[in-house]
Amino acid sequence: MINRPRRLRTTPELRSMVRETRVSADSLVYPMFVTEGNDIKEEIDTMPGQYRWSIDRMGEILQDVISAGVKSVMLFGIPEHKDECGSEAYSDNGIIQRALRYAKENYPELYYITDVCMCEYTSHGHCGILDGHYVDNDKTLQMLAKIAVSHAKAGADMVAPSDMMDGHIAAIRSALDENGFINIPIMAYSVKYASAFYGPFRDAAGSAPAFGDRKSYQMDPHNIREAIIEAELDYEEGADILMVKPGMAYLDVLREVKARFNKPLALYSVSGEYSMIKAGAKLGYIDEKKMICESAVCMYRAGTDILITYFAKEIAQYIKEGLIG
């Protein structure tokens, strides 16, 4: 035989040399939850190993992130007060705004991305302003723009709108530019499915809708052509980075978006993916470390440039150990 593919698999050094997919800690983003109160480090029941942090203790996790070699975090806020219009989301003294000011002053070496949405802040748990039981798209755009500007003023390095309203990127880009934040990039949740994989996050953030569901604005898991339409709209409206969410079950969508758009592409490996691995490992059904490494490689192989994952610290460590790379 002339062609023997096994020749390139004979040693670890050779396998590493010819590896097609490279994983770097520079591309990892760690999502974290910040809550009101003092001296709080509260484990999330459905996400073992993940916590809600009060601002006075969030330095503990930020230092862990830095020590692991991860350079970016994404902040999610849990306010004390919720109302119909989610006013705490854009308050100058809101939980995210205060967390940003603290983090930027004390841990300026990290890059801070903020979630721009309303579901954690509204009394009804939906991602926008209601007209009866319907989320009013255009009224919501005004609120999203206010939230993004308030985050930028507080020190956000990047904003990431997750609401799935039509026209949200154009509205946010315009508001940022008008307020002098022309260099603040937007990471668009361009392709966000109405997924059962979000369950643990909703427990963590207290963001489950009080009635109905989010299927009128988040995408139907059956559809992929619609994903291209959504990504194209965000691309045309000025998104700097596109995103697909969830991760593992939607790698075909990620691949399709990657092939069509010349923009950096992020993938959010969501809470349900994290919790399944943790639960399976606790029961002894799977090897947690190997599962984390393999799933991360699969996501990069499918085309992600940026991976948002609750396993960011572990992946960074496994890269150092040479278990993944």
Beta bridge partners of 75: 32, 114
The torsion angles phi and psi of 218, rounded to 5 degrees, stand at -85, 160
Beta bridge partners of 265: 242
User: What are the catalytic residues?
Assistant: 192, 245
Query: How many residues would you count in the chain?
Result: 325
Q: Give CA–CA dist 66/107, Å, rounded.
A: 9
- DSSP code, position 220: P
- The C-alpha torsion from 22 through 26 and 29 to 34, rounded to 10°, is 160
C-beta separation of 291 from 280 below 8 A: yes
Q: Is the dihedral of CA 60, 61, 65, 68 positive or negative?
A: positive
Q: How wide is the angle at C-alpha 290 spanned by C-alphas 315 and 325, nearest 5°?
A: 45
C-beta separation of 317 from 68 below 8 A: yes
Q: Give CA–CA dist 68/57, Å, rounded.
A: 18
Residue 125 neighbours by CB distance under 10 Å: 21
Q: Give CA–CA dist 184/125, Å, rounded.
A: 28
Q: Enumerate the H helices of the chain as residue ranges.
A: 12-17, 58-68, 95-106, 137-154, 168-178, 199-205, 225-237, 251-260, 271-282, 288-302, 312-320
